[in-house]
Structure 1
Amino acid sequence: MLAIRMELLGGRWAASAYNDRTRVEWPPHPARLYSALVATWAETEGDDAEAAMLDALATLPPPRLHAPEIREQRQSGAVYVPVNDTSAIRTYDANWQKLNDAWLAREEALAALSADPGEKERRRLEKTVAKSERAIEKLRETVAGFLAQGEAPPKVLGLLPDRRAKQPRFFPSVCPDRPRIDFIWADAGPTMEEHRGALDALLARVHRVGHSHTLVTLRYTDDPMPANWEPHDEGGTILRWVEPGQRRALEEGHALHLGVEPRVMPARPVAYARCEEVREAREAPVSALAGDFIVYERCGGASLPLPQACRAARIAHRALVRFASRGHSDVVHRAVSGRDADGTPTQSPHVAIVPLPFVGSSYADGTVMGFAFLLPRDLDEEGRLAILRALGAWESHWRDEKRAAARMSPGDRGLADALDALDDERRIDLHGEHHTVELRRVRGRAQSYNLRDTTWTRAAREWMTVTPIALDRNPKTLWSGNPDAAARGGERAVASIGDACDRLGLPRPEHVALDRNPPLVGGEPVGRFPPFPEGERGPRRVLVHARIRFSQPVRGPLVLGAGRFVGLGLLRPIPRSALPRPEEDTE
């Protein structure tokens, strides 16, 4: 085991978050610790043994952390400070160098002309003289001109204390309950033990980490505090750690910025979660829809707004049923169709299709990035194979259509080669009345956060609707202007949502807040969604947005209500780290 303890000598940690200069970084990112070690090694002319230790440290996995709770947090306002802009001097020096080079080029050309060269060489030298004189004349305006007038350029004058421009700076900081943070590598192995002496020597020389206000001491410890943060794929907090070769990357970066230019610390993002959250997640009740999570990302065609995506999900379901009836049996399995042999809605597990939109971010616009086919976890093997075969038939149909188009253009060899390259691609086309969406199956970890299964399935107590819930029972007076009638309607709506959670094998929520407007950025009000059911007889379901809180974390995907199999009632888990804390100063 390797553990490094960082003591905050002033009891305060000052460092801005990498993605928001106005907010404090907490817990401290392990990459900051590594950068402080490399900076100290370079400034104090560390030896080769310490360099080898730093290279070995960069090969370790991200550490677990013990970071105390925050006792006091300061969200500082903007502080306007003078700028040490060295670009003015560099520009001035560069112009002087260009002027000197042009002058030397002219003198050399004139000297060569005095030697009576041949006709061809003479013409080349005359052109060089003319070009140099034009450059000299131009540079005199920027360099020699202000010297003749006894004035300095405005940018150079701006370096004087009374004329410096000022830029806003932010200095957020926190005071933890205890001024110590432990970085813990439980599986460091014997490699780091070999570097123990070099590590101790370097730790003793580090005096700050992050901002210069954060004075620290670092030391190796055999008795770290119990970790309360650990790397976890479903974590909602991003910390930065390093990759092999980080020391070299920092050296190369410093050669470019020299400590004065803007720079970005090379690092890799790692998802972290509180250890308590990880333990709760292991014990969390699991949704009945938590089987296979098959994602198709949009790769072309129309861009769908969120309200139209639910209609597209119904079109996708009809297409899946159509392809399920090809080649295997005239009777479509109930896991695909959602209906028993007599045509009535089945009570057995069957596939659900939901849109995966861009929501929950400050810049989210609700654009649908793909669709997910959710297979229930209690689905039998026959039903699962029926769904997978239907998807396979749909993908084969796409390839057949493209090959048919290639045969109609036999001279287009490039198209044929492209189709051969696409043999391994698994794509489908979703044809709507006025649009076609091209979808490609995602294999492995999706690039986009909103297309990852963990984004929608991680355990959480708090969940918010992305698409509105189609209530199984009509609450009638839910939006009544009479407060008593609206309260009774709200109780019926909350009871309907509780029953929907029961059907997924989840506990009933301890709190439900209903609204017509979306709780997440990028969502759409219920009035913009098409009615459900659409184009069928019978009463229309009431659509509501909701914010749901359980007494314990539950694991998704969470899709509630009568429209849960065709895109309505999709909820997003909200990690605990993303929720406001009572002690935070939000002003």
Structure 2
Amino acid sequence: MFAIAVELLAGRYTATQFNDRSQPEWPPHPARLFSALVAAWADSEEPDPGERAALRWLEDQGAPDIHCGEDHWRTVVTHYVPVNDATALIRDVSSSTYEPVESARQAVADAQRSGDEKATQRALVALTKAEAKAVADAAKAGALTGHETASMAIGVLEVLPENRGKQGRTYPTIIPDRPTVWFVWPTAQASGQDRGALDALLGRVARIGHSSTLVACRCDETGPESKPAWVPGGSAGEARRVRVPRTGLIDRLELAFQMHHGEEPRTLPAGMVNYHQPRQARTQARRPRLGGDWYVLGFTERKFPAATQVLAVARATRNALLTHGVQPSPEILSGHQRQPGGSGPTPPLERPHLAVVPLLNAGNPHSDGTIYGVALVLPAECPAEDRRAVEGALRTWATVGDHDEFKLTLPARSDGRSAHYTLADLGVDRSKAGSEPQWLNTALTDRRKTTTRDYWCRPAKRWLTVTPIALDRFPGNLRSPKPEARDRAEAEAAAVVARACVNAGLADRPEDVKVTIRLDAPLVGIPASPAGRNTPGQRQFPGFQTGGGVPRACVHAEIEFPEPVRGPVLIGAGRYLGYGLCLPRDQKPEAK
């Protein structure tokens, strides 16, 4: 085995993708490391032939395995910087003025190596004359003649940074969770001479990618303990194209330098290889704690609540179940521990209980967030006694009116009028794979896909919020006008969401979950988070408060897990009342 460790001294990696300069490159391409080694070798006054031979050996080893941390993208911001090529002189100094100076210096060096004293004296006299002429030409070019125009004066002032024109620059950057990147050739066997030469070269490599990416590199005989994050291979649809060393690359780099001399636009003449992430596939997608059976009720009469009534619908449904269930209310319905004697405050239940989840029209180009139904979601581990308590409350509720209808009354609005709705078509979607839904009543013959369990519970890595996530703790000012304060708040909110995913049984560690915080909705037709600014004409979800009246900050989010998880993805402090409901987006199903 042969391994090279590259430590990112600033903890970040700034480099652009070879085919998109607005996007960051990750993982670092092995060809970048090889080019940095070639540059370190060629920068010597007399490049060492032994080091060149070691580079030839390295380029023959092919594509290495890459061990690196997960990538966390820093937001790409355009910076406007002064250009470096302002016209500072009234009259340009021809390059022919300075070329004789360089030639004279080379002649002096050649004469001194030859040992010919007379030739050396003649070369020194020629060099003195060339330097004097260059100084005189430069002074003449910058001297005033009395015939300068206003445009010439402006050209001279452009040498000052505040007067130069500014151009946009972007610096796409990755901040990995581990600062050391390893390139490992598992079957390579380097000789002691090649290893020593490469180690000496690595000690002279100061950066890889952008000049701000400072690195410390070394050879290592043991390599990393972790498994590789990226390995060569993979199908075109799933793989990432990575530039790697190939046989003859050092010759191509030398030839390219003779053409551009490090100044003209250029491309890296490396080989291209597919890389993929080797992951151990789960035999079965992870099942969340709220992964039990669903009891689904659909709204009738073409009268549907709007998305902004999610909390009102959830609380009204839960209150109806509490009213029509046995008394005192069982823990599965109340979400609180029973107290002996039935008096005094009741602490919240420590285990999962029934979640009341309004089901919105979401996930297609014509979605508007209309609530088509309500799902009563049982925990994955639900005792038979708890299941009977839920079904008993449903049966009692249905007997109040017609046997196939459930009357629902929402609290009075600002005008003092209550909203009345009818729920029907009670059905059960079993959590067991392969089981068919059991519709207990079929008043609605044309069921909407968004009211089925399968629509919300397909295994996927990437999930987008439909209803906002109520955070378990305050993250800071997400709307701060100061970028630093806003970034800190978003980072804290992302950490809270990641921990909520662990609490919901969707991941083992918070660092395994990639979260992007948003205040607007990531899906079409869905209202914004209540943490966003009140924009005229923009719909927003209502704020969330706990049963004790404690307000919670709410955010939308895009969540990516390292492996597919099975829904429902319900996270955050409001998960038992329909907040924090996410939709799988690995595929884009059609909904109606």
Question: What TM-score results when the alignment is normalised by the length of structure 2?
Answer: 0.44
Larger Rg: 2
Question: What TM-score results when the alignment is normalised by the length of structure 1?
Answer: 0.44
Select the structure that is richer in helix. 1
